[in-house]
Amino acid sequence: MATTAPDLRRYARQMIHPAIGEAGQRALGGARVLIVGCGALGTHVADTLTRAGVGFLRIVDRDFVDLHNLQRQVLFDEDDLARGLPKALAAAEKLRRINSDVTIEPIVDDANAGNIQALVEGIELIVDGTDNFETRYLLNDVAARAGIPWVYGGVLATYGMTLTILPGETACLRCLFPDPPPPGAAPTCETAGVLAPAVALIAAIEAAEAIKILVGARGAVNRELLAIDIWRLSVDRLPAARQVACPTCGDGSREYPFLDLAGASRTVALCGRNAVQITLAAPAALALPDLAARLRPAGEVRHNEHLLRFRPIEGGQELVIFPNGRAIVHGTDETALARSLYARYVGL
C-alpha cells in the first residue's frame, strides 16, 4: 500500500502524451479498478495498469497457479507453482514489487451473483480477465445496473475480441450477443489452445481502453467490436450499436438474469462424496460424441448415450457430464475448483 505521495517522475514517458499529462496521471493515481480473472488476460492487464500508476486494483480469481499457466500468464513463475499459490495472491506479490504507489487487493474467490455487488463496491471500472461466458454476462448485468464502465475481452487459439462498454452510451454485451452459447457448444482454451501473443495483444487493448476511461478521454474509446486473428494478421471492426430493445440496457424494462440468479448455474458440494455437482439454470442439449472428440486431446474420455466421463491429463479429478449439461466433478469438495474445471473443459 502506498504511504507517500507518488513520485510522478516514474510516469514521465506516459505523461508526455498530451491526452494524459499531469492531470490524467493524478486521475489514474486516484482510480479504483476491478479485474475479474487473473489468468492470461488478467495478468497482462494487471501488470500494465500497475505500471501505469492506477491507484487501486482489486483482483479476483478462484484458481491456483498450474504448470500450463506459465506459457502465457505473465505474473507467475516456477516458484509460485512450487508454493501452490492462488493466482490472486501470487499476482499481488509481483505487482507490489513493481509499483509501491499502487494498492493491490487480492481476493481468492469465484466472482458470482452472491458476491459481485460487494466486489464492485467503490469501483469505477471493471476489466474482464475471465475465461467463461457466465461470468462475463454477470459482469454485464452488474455494470449495467450500477452504471460502471467495463471492458470485455476474450481470446481463443490465435483469435481475440474486445469491446468497451459505457452504460447508457454504447452497446452492452447483450446488445451484440443476447444469450451466451450453451455449454459444450463452443471450444475452450483447454480444447482449442491459446497463443500467448494473441493474449498480449487483446490485453494491451483492454488496458489502453481502461486508461482512456480513467483519464476522462471517453471520446477516444473504441465503440465497436474489435476482432483480431494474430496468426493471419486480420483485423475486423464490427458495428456494435446499442439496441433499444436490449433486455439489459434498452429503453424498456430492464432485466439482470445473471445478477438475479435466474440465469446462473448452481454448484453444491455432495456431502461425504468428495464431489461437487454443477446444475445449469437452463438445461443444455449436449452432443456427447462431439464433446468427447473435443476433449480427447486433453485427457481420458469414455462415454455412452447416458453420460460422458472425462479425466484430464493434469490433476486427479474426473468430470461426469450428462446430456443436459449437469456434471459431477469427483476428486474435490471445493466448488470454486469444480466450476473452474467445468468452465475450462466444457464451458460456462
Question: Domain 8-238 is classified in which CATH homologous superfamily?
Answer: NAD(P)-binding Rossmann-like Domain (3.40.50.720)
pLDDT tens for the chain, 348 residues: list them: 555 778 999 999 999 999 999 999 999 999 999 999 999 999 999 999 999 999 999 999 988 888 989 999 999 999 999 988 889 999 999 999 999 999 999 999 888 888 999 999 999 999 999 988 889 999 999 999 999 999 999 999 999 999 999 999 999 999 999 988 877 777 778 778 899 999 999 999 999 999 999 999 999 999 999 999 999 999 999 999 999 999 999 988 899 999 887 667 788 777 667 889 898 877 788 999 999 999 999 999 999 888 899 999 988 899 999 998 989 999 998 888 999 999 999 987
pLDDT for res 3: 56
- Per-residue pLDDT tens over the stretch 124-182: 999 999 988 889 999 999 999 999 999 999 999 999 999 999 999 999 999 999 988 87
Q: Which DSSP category does 243 fall into?
A: P
Architecture of the domain delimited by 266-345: 2-Layer Sandwich (3.30)
- Per-residue pLDDT tens over the stretch 266-286: 887 776 678 898 988 777 889
Within the chain, all domains assigned CATH 3.30.310.10 are found at 266-345
Q: How far apart are CA 70 and CA 198, in angstroms?
A: 15
Q: How far apart are CA 218 and CA 206, in angstroms?
A: 14
pLDDT for res 158: 96
Task: Report if pTM > 0.75.
Answer: yes
State the catalytic residue, choosing from 172, 189, 246, 249.
Answer: 189
Place of cell 487483446: 202
Place of cell 475450462: 344
Helices (H), the chain: 12-15, 21-29, 40-52, 78-83, 87-98, 116-119, 133-146, 173-176, 189-192, 196-214, 288-295, 335-345
189 as an active site residue: the answer is yes
Within the chain, all domains assigned CATH 3.40.50.720 are found at 8-238
pLDDT for res 253: 82
Q: Mean pLDDT in the chain? A: 92
CA torsion 68-69-71-72 (nearest 10°) is: 150
pLDDT for res 187: 79
What Å distances lie between residue 160 and 157, 181, 201, 284, CA to CA? 8, 17, 8, 26
